[in-house]
Amino acid sequence: MCPEKERYMRVVQKRLSLYECSQDGRMAPELTVKEYSRSAADQEEPLPHELRPADVLQRTMNYLVGKIVNCVPKTDEELAQWYDFLWNRTRAIRK
C-alpha cells in the first residue's frame, strides 16, 4: 500500500503514524499506507513502479475503512491523529 522508497524515507524522517506501526512501535510494512504529497515543480515524476494500480487503491481503501475507521480513539488528541491519518491517506487515494 506504500512504495518501499517512501516507507524508508518516512522511517528516517520519523513521519510514521501510530497506525502504521506494530505493537512494539516498529514500522509494519503491511500497515504502511502511501502518504499524500502536494505536486511541486521541484518534485520528480513518480517512477512507473511507484504508481498504484486500481486494485491496490481499492485494497488500500478497504483496509482503511475496515480496520482504521472502526478504531475511533477516546481522547481528543488521539481523535485528531486518527482523523488526520484518514484524511491524508484517503486524499492520497483520491489524487
Local confidence band at 83 (pLDDT 50, 70, 90 cut-offs): very high
Note the pLDDT tens digit of each residue in 64-82.
999 999 998 999 999 999 9
Mean pLDDT of the chain: 91
Instruction: Give the model's pLDDT for residue 42.
Output: 64
Cα–chain center distance at 74: 21
Cell numbers found for residue 85 = 491519518
